[in-house]
Every structure is written in structure tokens, then in C-alpha cells.
Structure 1
């Protein structure tokens, strides 16, 4: 007869993930061992393997779970009867609200996603695109002129450039909390995006080609970062 799961099985899994995320975030995924995870979780190594088969499965669960929560938040805001501007604001507030309680998982996503196998990396990248795509759709509806000028994607990536690296300088014991910063970022975005103007295009063929070449690396970077940094 198969052994049944304990009543607190799911809670134990979440606790293990939280301890592993903290270790990965502080020491790095390669430098962390299953022995260290077991010790941090207050479990024997044998018990740890009852919940997770190896260290890699922890990495997948941490990164995919974090992005899945972001996707759910974006979809929850999209389902509300909100104007486009308020939808943008609420997405910022909700995303940063999640970051406040998942700083370790977010750092693992930022620093250790490169250790994922291609099939897992692509799946998580697709989920990240759903997050940035939700923001882009709201910004495009709110500011159709930015959409026509081809600026929605750059503005979206600038937003994520601001919030994705906030953990590198925002001190948990500082004067401003993530909740405080959520309002500040939302105000900055909502107040600043309408002022963004399309760049002036150079008319000559030679200058246009030169300008195009100069923009290409930025476009490539935005494309490759679109999912990686959500």
C-alpha cells in the first residue's frame, strides 16, 4: 500500500522552497548543497528527498512559482473593470507587493535562471512574456500615441528595469518599504509616460542607416530581456 502524504505536506514543501531560495539568493545556486538546504529547513537529508528529488527541482519550483504568481496578478488586474491608466497603476502596485514578500525568489530568478535546462528556461520565459505583455497591453490602451510611435515596448522594459533591480539598493530596514515604493513607481510611470515623445528621425538614407544600426543593439537587448527580467 502506497504511503500517504502528511497533512502538512504542501506547507512543508513551501517552507523548503523558502529556505532554499534564501540560500540560493545569498550564496548562489552552484555553491548551495542539498545538505545545506536540509539543515536550513530543519530536516534530515532523507526527509528532504521525500519532498524534492534534487537541487535542480528546487530551482525550477522557485523560479516558476515566482513567475506564476506574477502572471496570476497581472491576469487578476486585467479581469477587473478598470480604466487603462488605473490598470497600469494597479499592476505596478501588485507586482511590487509580490516582490516585497519574494525578494529571495526574485533574486534567484534574476541571478540563477541561466542554470535552467533549455526546456524549463523557455517555459518560464514564456510566462515572463505574459507578465510584460500584460503591462504593454495596458500601456498601449492607455497611451495609443505611444503604441503608434513604437514606444510601448521600450517604455515597458524601462519600467521593469526600474523594478527588477530594486532589491539591489532598497534596504529592508530603510525608511521606504516596497509598499511605499510601489506608489512612487506608479506615480513616476503614470506621470512620466504621457510626456515621452518619439525621437526625431533623420531623413537621409545614410544617417537613417547609421541611426538604425545604433538602435539595433538596444532593440536586441530589449528583446532578449523581455522575459528574462520580469
Structure 2
């Protein structure tokens, strides 16, 4: 007889993903075990296997869910009719706000992706490339005369923006919406004034 899917399957899955992300972030992928993950999730080891057949599958689902949703948030905000400067400001603000509440998932990216098979790594890095490409296009539009002749400079500027945003997440992860908006404006102002002086 085929086992039916419980009505709260998706809710339990989301709770497992959040709890498991904390374990992977705190313990690292190699040290985490399915027993440890089940304990953090508040379910039995047998029950966690009902959702995931391995910790590798669980890690991939955490990162696939997080990065695809993050990509959609950052790349999907409406920018029609805005000036280049305002498009950049809106996207930097949306990025910092999207990080809120996802500290563990964000931390797991750096150590978790290399632990996965190459094909899965490529999927996850594809989401990252989409976000970097989107931000890069917005930065280029602010000063095309600076960047069209030097793609390396554009890449460096783009990654510097993400570096500033990641700094805030690492050191001010509990900051509220107002503090995030203020810092997003600071990063935008630094970027706008900086790229025009290159």
C-alpha cells in the first residue's frame, strides 16, 4: 500500500530544514549526524529518514531552497521605471532584508556546497551566479563608461558590494528592518560615489 503524504508534510519539511541548517552551521557537515539532526528537529531518526534518505540530501535541500528563494527575491523585485541609481538602491536593500532570519542557511553555503556532488554544486552556484550577474548589471548601468572597458573592475566592485552586505549579516545579524535599511543606504552611497571616481 502506498503511504499517503501527511497534510502537514510541507510544514514539517520546512521545520526540518530550519533545524538542520542550525546543526550544519554549528557543527559542520562532516560532524553532523542524522541522529543529531533528528534530535534538533524534535523527531525520531526513523521519522527524519521518511523525509530524507541521507544528510547529503538534506544539505542539498537546505541550500537549494534557500538559494533559489534568495535569488528569486533579489532578482525579482520590480525595477521598471526606476533610474539606475534607484534600481541599485532597491536591490541592495532587498538583499540585506532577504538575509534576515537566514543566518544559519547563509553560513552553511560556504562549507556546505563543496561537500556536495559536482552536479548539485553546479545547480547551487548557478543561483549564486544569477544574483552576482543581476547586481553586476545594476552597478554597470550606473557608470558604463567606467566598466565597459574593464570587466575585472566590474566584478571586483560587485563582489565588494556583497562583501559589505555579508559583513553586516555576520556582525549585525539581529539588526531590525530600520538598521538594515540605513546600512543598505550607506552601502549604496559608498558604491555610487566610489564607482564614479574610478
Identify whether the pair has TM-score above 0.5, normalized to the shorter chain.
yes
CA distance 1:3–1:122, change in 2 (3 Å): same
Q: Residue 183 in 1 paired to residue 185 in 2? A: yes
Q: How does 1:192-203 map to 2 (within 5 A)?
A: 192-195=194-197, 197=198
- Paired with 2:179 and 2:31, the residues of 1 have a C-alpha distance of 30
Q: How does 1:13-28 map to 2 (within 5 A)?
A: 13-28=13-28
Instruction: Judge conservation of contact 1:93–1:182 (CA < 8 Å) in 2.
Output: yes
Displacement of 1:157: 1.3
TM-score with structure 1 setting the length: 0.77
Q: Residue 64 in 1 paired to residue 64 in 2? A: yes
- Paired with 1:15 and 1:194, the residues of 2 have a C-alpha distance of 45
Q: How does 1:112-151 map to 2 (within 5 A)?
A: 112-150=112-150, 151=153
Of 163-172 and 120-129, deviating more is: 163-172
Count of residue pairs brought into register by the alignment:
195
CA distance 1:171–1:95, change in 2 (3 Å): closer
Instruction: Judge conservation of contact 2:85–2:142 (CA < 8 Å) in 1.
Output: yes
Displacement of 1:144: 1.0
TM-score with structure 2 setting the length: 0.88
Q: Which residue of 2 aligns with 1:217?
A: none
CA distance 1:115–1:162, change in 2 (3 Å): same
Deviations 1:167-207 (A, max 9, x none): 43335379x85454333323322333322x1xxxxxxxxxx
Instruction: Judge conservation of contact 1:89–1:190 (CA < 8 Å) in 2.
Output: no
SS at match of 2:49: helix
Instruction: Judge conservation of contact 1:143–1:194 (CA < 8 Å) in 2.
Output: yes
CA distance 1:30–1:180, change in 2 (3 Å): farther
* Unmatched 5+ stretches in structure 1: 198-230
- Paired with 1:105 and 1:178, the residues of 2 have a C-alpha distance of 19
CA distance 1:94–1:173, change in 2 (3 Å): closer
* Unmatched 5+ stretches in structure 2: none
